[in-house]
Amino acid sequence: MAFIALTLALEASCGSDAGRVGPTDAGSERPQPGDPRAKVCADPSAPAPPYRLVQQIFDDNCTSCHVVGAMVNLLPGSSWSDLVGKPAPAPDSCGGALVVPGQPSASYLFQKLTTATPCYGFQMPLGEFASLPLPACVTAIVGAWIAEGAPPPAGDAGTN
């Protein structure tokens, strides 16, 4: 079931050529080829994403800002325990939790990655001057992980 859900999510968000999904042209919804951030999407037939894949997304796109001392720490070794079941920090919270296991749409992390106008602040990740939204296949991986119950890293009992 998880395999089918992830495959459908990746195909819907990336098309059949997941490695070529990238940022869109200005004024166009057509993806530009070769966005390196989509490299984690290379195998749409893979089973549900293990947390190490989600952590790789954080490492590649988020940890330049979200480090120890930031409102949300996404560094390896603390990201899972700082996200799952934790309230989003004020004023960012909008009354939500960062990750609600099994519920991507109720998870503030997923909203910040997928919504152009989240309830507070900007869509993540941020670039120097504006938001630089992740390819849809990347956010689909995060969504699939949350939908599967946001399982912890393999071999860990709730910490990574």
For the record, the structure tokens of 139 come out as: 């956010």
Q: State the average pLDDT over residues 8-31.
A: 40
pLDDT at residue 42, as a whole number? 66
pLDDT at 129 over 70: yes
Check residue 127 and give its pLDDT.
Answer: 86
Two tokens, residue 59: 């490492």
Weakest mean pLDDT among 77-81, 90-94, 132-136, 146-150: 90-94
SS3 of residue 126 by DSSP:
strand
Average pLDDT over residues 141-160: 80
29-45 confidence digits (pLDDT tens)? 444 556 777 777 766 56
Question: Are 43 and 63 spatial neighbours (Cβ–Cβ below 8 Å)?
Answer: no
Q: Is the pLDDT of residue 19 over 50?
A: no
In the chain, what are the domain boundaries? Answer: 2-147
CA end-to-end span of the chain: 25
pLDDT at 109 over 80: yes
Contacts of 68-77 with CB under 8 Å at 24 or more apart are 72/98, 72/109, 76/160, 77/159, 77/160
Identify the pLDDT of residue 155: 57
Q: Is 11 exposed, middle or buried (0-12, 13-18, 19+ CB in 10 A)?
A: middle
Calculate the alpha carbon distances from 27 to 14, 51, 72 in Å.
19, 35, 32
* HSE-CB for 46 with a 13 A CA cutoff: 16
Burial per residue of 75-84, b for 16 or more beta-carbon CB atoms within 10 angstroms, e otherwise: beeebbebbb
